[in-house]
Structure 1
Amino acid sequence: MYDRYQGLIFDMDGTLLDTEEGHRQAWSEVLAKYGMELDLQAVIGLNGSPSWKIAEFVIDSYQVDLDPFKLAQEKFEIVESIVLDMVKPLPIVEVVKSYRNKRPMAVGTGSMHGFAERLLQHVGLRDYFSAIVGADDVQNHKPAPDTFLRCAQLMQVAPASCVVFEDAPFGLQAAKAAGMDAVDVRHL
């Protein structure tokens, strides 16, 4: 179905892996320490963003004087243990399996690189991908095209020959800005 593309790029959280509940639980624990809650409807538009951007949004919403990077770090310190216990691959993994050794594939995620590596290893998918680009690998995050352009570069495939699989508006915008076709996995 995707044979016309020379490279396949996948978002991780919400596209390849069901990690949402773990991220939500980690945010709830961290924010509770400061008397705050995560408004799920309000942050849904930030899906695909690095944690510090979500922290910045929450801090602005509550108008408190906290460092978004420190808050994101606190969340990061607990999220891995929570997510590892509950992570499950999502149906798009069948596309990954069917293109193994047929096309170069990469993961372009708003999660940190090391976290993505560990999660993919945990579910047995790490070896399917020739490249992983995390939030700490680029300066400009989704909706900027940098994540997906770096994936294409690492796979040695022209951006116009890539297709991106995404579940978030920012990621879909980033794919378009990179000159790549995109598949919204929410509609598959």
Structure 2
Amino acid sequence: MRFKGVLFDLDGVLLKSMEQHLEAWQHAFSRFKALINEADFYQLEGRGVRSVVKALTQKYGIAPEFHEEIIRDKIKCYESIFNPEFYDGLYGVLDLLKKHQIKMAVVTGGQRDRVQKITADYFSGYFLGEVTSDDVVHTKPYPEPYLKGAEMVKLSPSECIVVENAPLGIQAAKAAGMRVLAIATTLPKSELTQADFIFDHFDQIEAWFQGELVTADA
């Protein structure tokens, strides 16, 4: 079956932002003398902010009463250091899919206000909408976010392909019954093996989509 929709994760896929998120979490936890590292954080990528803070405070023995304060500090720091960067070849993929009238949406563990501002500022005209952590009961690795993404583009899960960079996101998409293209932007390929295909760069993903579209149109 030819795919008719593509659902994109945001951070680490559409936006080169994971390093900035890590820096913000490190700042928020610094007064507790907790040293958050890449291994701590990248494995949690895809969860909502409250799920992330719960996991990290449990790991470092920090009381739940500090959750909201840590979240506020993290968001404030992230906003102060945010500098939008994009991966080479990303817009080539988006333009190709748009040209072929493929329906697209963003599915992310980010918060709605931030996500909608980013898509409006940098991705206007590409996406039909966004599914954020504010729109679901269960964030990734549960399938709910991607199932809502399929509903948003009015397609069945089997008609959708997901582009992800994180294990929890891949798990969520597979549980939703979707094929997954993983891109190794933040983690090595060895940690993305649940995906159907794994790529190093967006130009490789563009070539894959081009091949699929040409085959389907033949």
TM-score by length of 1: 0.89
CA pair 35-66 structure 1, distance change in 2 beyond 3 A: farther
**1:37 match: secondary structure:** coil
In 2, Cα distance between equivalents of 1:105 and 1:69: 33
Listed as ranges, the gaps of 5+ residues in structure 1 are: none
Residue 116 of structure 1: how far off its partner (Å): 1.1
**1:89 match: secondary structure:** coil
Residue 41 of structure 1: how far off its partner (Å): 1.4
Counterpart of 1:76 in structure 2 is 75
The percentage of aligned residue pairs carrying the same residue is: 28
Deviations 1:59-82 (A, max 9, x none): 112212134344223312331332
CA pair 36-110 structure 1, distance change in 2 beyond 3 A: same
Deviations 1:78-135 (A, max 9, x none): 313322x2x212234321121115111000001111111122233x213210010111
Q: Which amino acid aligns with 1:88?
A: E
Counterpart of 1:63 in structure 2 is 61
Residue 34 of structure 1: how far off its partner (Å): 2.6
Residue 137 of structure 1: how far off its partner (Å): 0.7
Does residue 88 (structure 1) correspond to residue 71 (structure 2)? The answer is no
In 2, Cα distance between equivalents of 1:49 and 1:160: 23
Deviations 1:123-153 (A, max 9, x none): x213210010111110011011111111111
Residue 36 of structure 1: how far off its partner (Å): 2.0
* Higher deviation after alignment, 48-57 or 128-137: 48-57
In 2, Cα distance between equivalents of 1:81 and 1:143: 29
Q: Is the 8 A contact 1:12 1:108 kept in 2?
A: yes
* Structure 1 residue runs of 4 or more that deviate by more than 6 Å after TM superposition: none
Q: Is the 8 A contact 2:8 2:14 kept in 1?
A: yes
Within a 5 Å distance, the mapping from 1:5-154 to structure 2 comes to: 5-67=3-65, 68-83=67-82, 85=83, 87-90=84-87, 91-100=89-98, 102-122=101-121, 124-154=122-152
In 1, Cα distance between equivalents of 2:131 and 2:14: 14
CA RMSD across the alignment: 1.8
Counterpart of 2:216 in structure 1 is none
Q: Is the 8 A contact 1:117 1:126 kept in 2?
A: no
In 2, Cα distance between equivalents of 1:148 and 1:141: 9
Q: Is the 8 A contact 1:80 1:115 kept in 2?
A: no
**1:15 match: secondary structure:** coil
Q: Which amino acid aligns with 2:144?
A: D
Listed as ranges, the gaps of 5+ residues in structure 2 are: 185-197, 200-218
